[in-house]
Amino acid sequence: MKPKIGIYGLSGCWGEQINILNCEDELLDIVGAVDIVDFLGGSSVNDTESRLAIAFVEGSVANAREEKELQHIRNRSDLLVACGSCACFGGVGAMDAQVSRPELIKQVYGNNGPAKSWDIGPHKPLSEFVKVDLAIPGCPMESKAFVKAVSSLLNGDVPLLPTYPVCLECKMKEYDCLLVSRGLPCAGPVTVAGCGARCPGYNVACIGCHGPVDEANMGSIEKIFEQKELPMDQIKLKLRTFAAPVLDKERE
């Protein structure tokens, strides 16, 4: 019998599920190796109860219903993988975590907002609620990282994901540095790699969508920003867009 897997989306844009479906060259091999039994984004017929070898979960947790759903997924799965920056760090939905929901509604709608706020709190990463066995960041997660995770986990291994910054990939591709050469506010030095330095490859500064790299050298990037007369807030705001709960925790 093939191992069963499930693919889920909580609060997010479903970008990871689209990227999984975009694994066109590998998809037939994947469905040959596993039974995808529960995947609302790919099938209307789903088995929502049986035991799973691996659950892939994208999106952040925004309310009690999603917390319950995540707990149910965790309880029925041997391994749980957080897919994408929302699941790993809270993502875009968490960038405003420090502002109360009524205040946010007021900022967006002024005095014409709904009288009663919805059942939505600040979005939180999966690890705040359940054990996460593997975290694959990215907004969205790279398709190749999903394929690597499936093959490694099925073989009892943990995939080796990058722990170095985007700059390393950028240098390996011999791109001209947008920060040093052109004075653009690039978050590459403090962002974890995995995208192949996609944005600098198009002459666009990195906005940090893969989340902060471990032990980011903020001192060094601050110095370069000072030399270039760039406001350091730009990098902080970029990183907050994808990983505010993690940065807030580091500050505590």
Question: How far is CA 17 from each of CA 5, 58, 59, 211, 229, rounded to the nearest angstrom?
Answer: 13, 8, 10, 19, 40
User: What residues between 157 and 186 interact with ligand SF4 by CB under 6 A?
Assistant: 166-167, 170-171, 175, 177-179, 186
* Size of the residue set binding ligand SF4 (CB under 6 A): 22
Site membership for ligand SF4, residue 137 (CB under 6 A): no
34 touching ligand SF4, by CB under 6 A: no
Residues from 191 through 220 that contact ligand SF4 (CB under 6 A): 191, 195, 197-200, 206-210
HSE (side-chain half, CA atoms, 13 Å) at 55 = 30
In whole angstroms, how large is the CA radius of gyration of the chain? 19
Query: Shortest approach of ligand SF4 to residue 249 CB, angstroms?
Result: 21
74-113 footprint of ligand SF4 as x/- string (CB under 6 A): ----------------------------------------
Q: Residue 24: helix, strand or coil by DSSP? A: helix
CA distances, 182 to each of 42, 79, 116, 204, 225 (Å):
43, 44, 48, 11, 12
Q: Which is nearer to ligand SF4, 91 or 208 (CB)?
A: 208
Cα separation, 197 vs 175, in Å, equals 9
Residues lying near ligand SF4 in the complex (CB under 6 A): 166-167, 170-171, 175, 177-179, 186, 188-189, 191, 195, 197-200, 206-210
